Amino acid sequence: MQRKKGKGKALVTLMVVFGLFQTCFSSGINRASFPKGFVFGTASSAFQYEGAVKEDGRGPSVWDTFSHTFGKIIDGSNADVAVDQYHRYDEDVQLMKNMGMDAYRFSISWSRIFPNGTGQINQAGVDHYNKLIDALLAKGIEPYVTLYHWDLPQALEDKYKGWLDRQIIKDFVVFAETCFQKFGDRVKHWITFNEPHTFSIQGYDVGLQAPGRCSILLHLICRAGNSATEPYIVAHNVLLSHATVADIYRKKYKPQQKGSIGLSLDVIWFEPASNSTGDVEATKRAQDFQLGWFLDPLIFGDYPRTMRERVGNRLPTFSNFEASLVKGSLDFVGINHYTTFYGSNSSLATLLNDSLADSGALTIPFRNGKPIGDRANSIWLYIVPEGMRKLMNYIKQKYGNPPVIITENGMDDPNNSLISIKQALQDDKRIKYHNDYLTNLVASIKEDGCNVKGYFVWSLLDNWEWAAGYTSRFGLFFVDYKDKLKRYPKKSVEWFTNFLNSA
């Protein structure tokens, strides 16, 4: 009897192990499934990670101001400390090295280099990024640098309202050129902007992110703004800034530095809520007002026809020179993709006067009261892995198959103080998320011929998530906010380590 029990226990253990193996590797994908040279990395941003907001000469940004304004951040927190990567970058670089990651995407804080947005260079800021870049390269990790990840120097917002004034183009050029000069001998991958669609809408249409401008809910949450015009002005100035900087980089720096330059666009994939002509057309418009708003000018030289028709003279125009400058001004397209929504025809435009309503499309993750997929923690993040493959094919077909890098993909868990750290580290849902999205991504490459070159996980660490504060945990590593920001590997770290080191 005793021997039978022992055998039974061993059999159960074997079944459990086999079950875990199936869960983690059911698709059979690993690094070797992807083309040779495909880059795997993790992503971050300066404001969400660094902390040290008043150290070594750094000036304030619009997000410092916004996060210290009552009622703007859901948990009342700020990013003054964040996850303290400013002081702990060596430790974090080692975590990436241990996993087998090829690259790290991080952003440079504009106000660390120019505390006033322009003028005198802050050498301490330059020194910090030199040390971070050198630490990465010493461990064999390639830096992918974002120049602008939402943290506009407050001085430029105060001086001329930042992205609403064309002066911003000149000041951004000075900042970008300074970065090329100081870091371009080692940085070979530049991303000018992160998610201009997001900060144009959230910052200047609905006012839920810095600098918090809007008119649709003016008396409730915004003190100033015009939701019908400002998002388009901001986006236009961003496109011109990107194109000007890309032109300078290609002419002055690329011949010697041999790097590449692109930008990162946030893209929700949209599925028609029904087969009706109205919903199908609305879904196409929704994508024009999201991805097309930025990628059409960069590939074709002008905004989508649907935007021209529906926005009219509120949509800025490119001169012939500007159109030629913008068109073709990227070496790769960065795509931040997390989720999929339904699209349906909408008459919102008759109720609201803003850029969201201009598309005449309603995009939500529900149909007939049922969600489109399992939800992560964020109210907008529903898990629909096949959206990744469909989006890659859409970009291939509409835009001529440009080189694409997935510069962000991931999901969050809640920051639940009622569960133990041990429980929080068991992130099987995240493992399945990445496995399934990567499975669809590799299918788009190998079966459909999509030109995808890399994949960056959002995010290396749990971090400060903008208006969500510390309520959301996207990290592969758990950060203990109650105990000196200690980093603990979640189960997904083991999964990625196996993924990256298996052949």
Instruction: Give the mean model confidence (pLDDT) for residues 21-36.
Output: 73
DSSP-derived secondary structure for 274-291: SSSHHHHHHHHHHHIIII
| Backbone angle region of 161, left / alpha / beta, with phi > 0 → left and psi within -120 to 50 → alpha | left
Give me the residues paired with residue 384 across strands.
none
pLDDT value of residue 24: 41
Percent of the residues in the chain that have a pLDDT greater than 90, as a whole number: 90
Average pLDDT on 256-275 reads: 98
Do the Cβ atoms of 96 and 141 come closer than 8 Å? yes
342 φ, ψ (degrees, to nearest 5):
-90, 145
pLDDT of 320 above 80: yes
Where does 288-409 have alpha helices with state H?
293-300, 305-311, 320-326, 355-358, 386-399
Q: How many Å apart are CA 83 and CA 463, to the nearest integer?
A: 6
**CA separation (Å) from 19 to 33, 192, 497?**
22, 44, 19
Q: Taking a C-beta distance cutoff of 8 angstroms, is the pair 478, 427 a contact? A: no
pLDDT beyond 50 at 436: yes
DSSP state of 377: S
Query: In terms of C-beta distances under 8 Å and separation of at least 24 residues, what long-range contacts does 418-422 make, across chains too?
Result: 421/478, 421/480, 421/488
Sign of dihedral through CA atoms 177, 179, 181, 184? negative
**For residue range 84-122, what is the model confidence (pLDDT) as tens digits?**
999 999 999 999 999 999 999 999 999 999 999 999 999
Would the pLDDT of 20 be above 70? no
d(CA 118, CA 235): 21
Find all residues with CB under 8 Å of 482, minimum gap 6, and list them: none
Provide the sign of the torsion angle of the four alpha carbons 130, 136, 141, 145, taken in this order: negative
Tens of pLDDT, residue by residue over 197-247, are 999 999 999 999 999 999 986 567 898 999 999 999 999 999 999 999 999
pLDDT of residue 92: 98
Confidence of residue 354 (pLDDT cuts 50, 70, 90): confident
Q: What is the pLDDT of residue 164?
A: 98
Among 209, 189, 173, 177, residue whose Cα is nearest residue 73: 209
Taking residues 459-483, what's their average pLDDT?
98
> pLDDT at residue 21 above 80?
no
> Which residues are within 8 A (CB) of 465 and not within 5 positions of it... i.e. 6 or more apart?
48, 412, 471, 472, 474
Express as a percent the part of the chain with pLDDT over 70: 93
Cα dist from 148 to 238, 264, 301, 305, 461, whole Å: 10, 10, 22, 28, 20
Q: Residue 166: how many CB atoms within 10 A of its CB? A: 13
**Taking 80 as the threshold, does the pLDDT of residue 13 lie above it?**
no
pLDDT at 350: 56
pLDDT at 298 over 90: yes
Topology of domain 35-501, CATH: TIM Barrel (3.20.20)
User: What confidence score (pLDDT) does residue 295 get?
Assistant: 98
Residue 436 CA: distances (Å) to CA of 24, 269, 387 = 10, 16, 11
Number of residues assigned to the chain: 503
Q: Which residues are part of the catalytic machinery?
A: 195, 408
Q: How far apart are the C-alpha atoms of 53 and 187, rounded to whole Å?
A: 24
Q: How far is CA 422 from the centre of its chain?
A: 28
pLDDT at 6: 45
Read off the pLDDT of each residue in 28-53 and give the average, rounded to a whole number: 97
Predicted confidence at residue 221, as pLDDT, reads 83
Residue 458: pLDDT band by 50, 70, 90 thresholds? very high
Residues 304-321, mean pLDDT to the nearest whole number = 98
Q: Where are the domains of the chain?
A: 35-501
Distance CA 287, CA 5 (A): 60
List C-alpha distances in Å: 232 to 128, 242, 307, 313, 317.
35, 15, 10, 11, 10
- Cα within 13 Å of Cα(129), Cβ side: 31
User: Which pLDDT band holds residue 4 (cuts at 50, 70, 90)?
Assistant: very low
Residue 225 near residue 204, CB atoms below 8 Å: yes
Please report which confidence band the pLDDT of residue 347 belongs to, taking 50, 70 and 90 as the band edges.
Answer: confident
- Reference 41, options 500, 442, 445; nearest CA is 500
The predicted pLDDT at position 348 comes to 66
Is 60 exceeded by the pLDDT of residue 265? Answer: yes
Give the pLDDT confidence score for residue 16 in this predicted structure: 35
What's the pLDDT at 396?
Answer: 98
Q: What is the pTM of this model?
A: 0.94
**In sequence order, what are the residues at sequence separation of 6 or more whose Cβ sits closer than 8 angstroms to the Cβ of residue 81?**
51, 52, 485
d(CA 415, CA 215): 33
What rounded mean pLDDT belongs to the chain?
94
382-383/374-375 β-pairing: antiparallel
* Structure-token match 């999509």, residue found: 450
Q: What is the mean pLDDT of residues 347-353?
A: 66
